[in-house]
Amino acid sequence: MPQTFKFQQVDVFSSAATEGNPLAVVTGADDLSDAQMAAFARWTNLSETTFLLSPKHPDADYRVRIFTTTRELPFAGHPTLGSCFVWLDNGGIAKADEVIQECGAGLVRIRRDGSRLAFAAPPLLRSGPVEHDILQRLATGLGVKPEQIVGSQWADNGPGWVAVMLASREEVLAIRPDYVALKGLNVGIVAPWTGPDAEADFEVRALTGDLNAEDPVTGSLNATLAQWMIPAGLAPRKYTARQGTVLGHRGRVSVEQIGERIWVGGDVQKCVSGSVTL
């Protein structure tokens, strides 16, 4: 029997609608099956679609399930901020000063700073040096010389990111990826943005090898980059990143380390509001 649910589509990591990363959110989705969620996520054809449910953990304010067009993710960044925005917009009231989201990766803290939301970067599932054969594959897939990769690190908090640093923003923007050569790797690319025209501290790109596509603005990747770059002295404790330039987007991600916790934040814009029948 068809059921009707509240639905919103929001734009995350942008101060102006259509410049960030879109997210579809279905609320009150407890009665939907795994198959229905997966089918709707395929239909929206967005990088992620989320479903808000009643929490199971006593400390959580809500629970979210995150689907790409091909699989379910335990955690993702822009779906975390967008889902929290929709939960609050639908009358959600947090039990404490911070909103506590429950997802496949566990509990994620989200704080409000005016109109901006920021999530606490979850623990890394994998870190450490990148193997030589993987670095060779990365160089080939990115179309760069191995010596252009000035730093690299496994930086996975769920989606499987491997991160590389290049010397300049121009090199990052010049990359035209060969997804066949990358063989399914999810690659984050970062470089400092220097000079008088710099609008952020770093330029970031996210290549999702499982989808053979570039993601406009990626919270999970920016979280892992910060967990690598700040302790390594490659980035200050507070900085901004631009992402989506090659795709015509102007995503802006704010990163700040407070104590031992790294916060990844940005603005969220409501673009579509209504209902969906499934």
d(CA 143, CA 2): 49
Instruction: Enter the tokens of residue 159.
Output: 């989606």
Query: What is the sign, positive or negative, of the torsion defined by CA atoms of 83, 84, 85, 89?
Result: positive
Contact 46, 22 (CB under 8 A): yes
φ and ψ at 259, to 5 degrees? 65, -130
Question: Catalytic residue among 19, 48, 203, 256, which?
Answer: 48
d(CA 146, CA 183): 18
Q: Is 199 a catalytic residue?
A: no
Beta strands in the chain (DSSP E): 4-12, 21-26, 49-53, 62-67, 72-73, 99-103, 106-113, 116-120, 126-128, 151-156, 161-165, 186-192, 202-208, 213-215, 238-243, 251-258, 261-266, 268-277
CA 60 to chain centre: 21
Catalytic residues: 48
